[in-house]
């Protein structure tokens, strides 16, 4: 990685209007929720829905568009005496840091001020991880697909999949196999979606798991323990590392 490129990507993004707007919208939403809601847990639950929907969407779509708009510039960097890997990873770090920073200013800081609690901290951790995971997915989309509109289309489809379609399939399976003991399998399947992992982690912290019945108890059993937490964190890191690694491997051979 090259510190210089990270520095310049961040300088560029700091002045980007979309990033500024994103931060301000998050800030307005979180201030709105926390100022209207006295109960911290209820506030966190409302914030959770915003975080799980908006953060992945903006992270993946904005990063994809940014990468396509920078494609000429990335080409110019490749023509300079720099390793391809260091260019690509530096851009990933720059984007990841900026999206995480925007989230932290927009939601993290208000949460720390108005709802400082275990569930609040978990919400911040989940949001930061989701930001970088979806940046990593964007790197993967943008490197494989040359055409800008197709790439952005795929980014939106990926988001739809993780935010809506996956849950729909999960619900369908749940009803189909309601007669079988599938709780343990549910834990495993939820690992396939970083948004679901985040939702479960935060919900367990606000003690709404009681409302999730027997499955909730199984989740509690798994995610509530140190070992389960460790595994979950590992899975989230894999969600970040694997798409980035795949994209980097492809970028090294890519024609620009």
Partner 1 sequence: MIEIKQLSKHFGKLQVLREIDLSLEGGQCISLIGPNGSGKTTLIKSILGMVIPSSGTIHFEGKNISREWAYRNDIGYMPQIGEYPENMSIGQVLDMMKDIRKIPENLLDTELYEKFELDKMLDKRMRTLSGGTRQKVSACLAFMFSPKVLILDEPTAGLDPVATEILKDKIIDEKHKNKLIMITSHVLSDLDDLVSQIIYMQDGRVMFHKSLVELKVDTGTNKLSKAIAHIMSLKQELSKETIYE
As measured in angstroms, the least distance from the Cβ of 64 to partner 1 is: 16
* Contact pattern from residue 174 through residue 213 relative to partner 1, giving x for each residue in contact according to CB under 8 A and a dash for the rest: ----------------------------------------
Q: Which of residues 48-77 bind partner 1 (CB under 8 A)?
A: 69-73, 75-77
Residues 162, 56 contacting (CB under 8 angstroms): yes
- Rounded to whole angstroms, the Cα distance separating 106 from 224 reads 28
Piece of 31-39, 192-200, 213-221, 248-256 that binds partner 1 (CB under 8 A): 248-256
Using the structure block, give the residue that is written with the tokens 């709780």.
Answer: 183
- Rounded to whole angstroms, the Cα distance separating 112 from 55 reads 18
Contact flag: residue 21 with partner 1 (CB under 8 A): no
Sign of the alpha-carbon dihedral angle for 213, 206, 21, 68: negative
* 106, 112, 116, 117 alpha-carbon torsion, rounded to 10°: 60
As measured in angstroms, the least distance from the Cβ of 147 to partner 1 is: 14
As measured in angstroms, the least distance from the Cβ of 157 to partner 1 is: 24
- Rounded to whole angstroms, the Cα distance separating 43 from 53 reads 16
Footprint on this chain of partner 1 (rule: CB under 8 A): 2, 4-5, 8-9, 11-13, 15-16, 69-73, 75-84, 253-256
């Amino acid at each position: 990685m090259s510190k210089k490129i990270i520095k310049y990507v961040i300088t560029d993004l700091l002045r980007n209007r979309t990033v500024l707007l994103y931060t301000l919208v998050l800030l307005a939403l979180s201030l709105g929720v926390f100022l209207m809601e006295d109960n911290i847990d209820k506030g966190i639950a409302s914030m959770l829905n915003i975080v799980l929907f908006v953060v992945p969407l903006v992270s993946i779509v904005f990063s994809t568009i940014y990468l396509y708009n920078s494609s000429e510039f990335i080409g110019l960097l490749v023509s300079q005496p720099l390793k391809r890997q260091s260019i690509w990873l530096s851009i990933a770090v720059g984007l990841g840091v900026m999206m995480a920073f925007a989230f932290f200013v927009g939601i993290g800081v208000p949460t720390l001020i108005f709802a400082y609690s275990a569930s609040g901290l978990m919400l911040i951790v989940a949001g930061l991880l989701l930001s970088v995971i979806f940046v990593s997915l964007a790197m993967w989309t943008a490197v494989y697909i040359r055409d800008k509109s197709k790439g952005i289309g795929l980014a939106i489809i990926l988001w739809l999949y993780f935010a809506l379609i996956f849950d729909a399939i999960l619900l369908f399976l749940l009803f189909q196999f309601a007669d079988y003991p599938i709780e343990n399998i549910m834990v495993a399947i939820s690992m396939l979606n970083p948004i679901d992992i985040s939702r479960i982690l935060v919900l367990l912290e606000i003690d709404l798991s009681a409302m999730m019945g027997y499955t909730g108890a199984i989740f509690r059993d798994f995610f509530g323990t140190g070992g389960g937490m460790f595994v979950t964190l590992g899975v989230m890191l894999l969600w970040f590392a694997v798409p980035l690694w795949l994209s980097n491997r492809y970028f090294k051979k890519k024609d620009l």
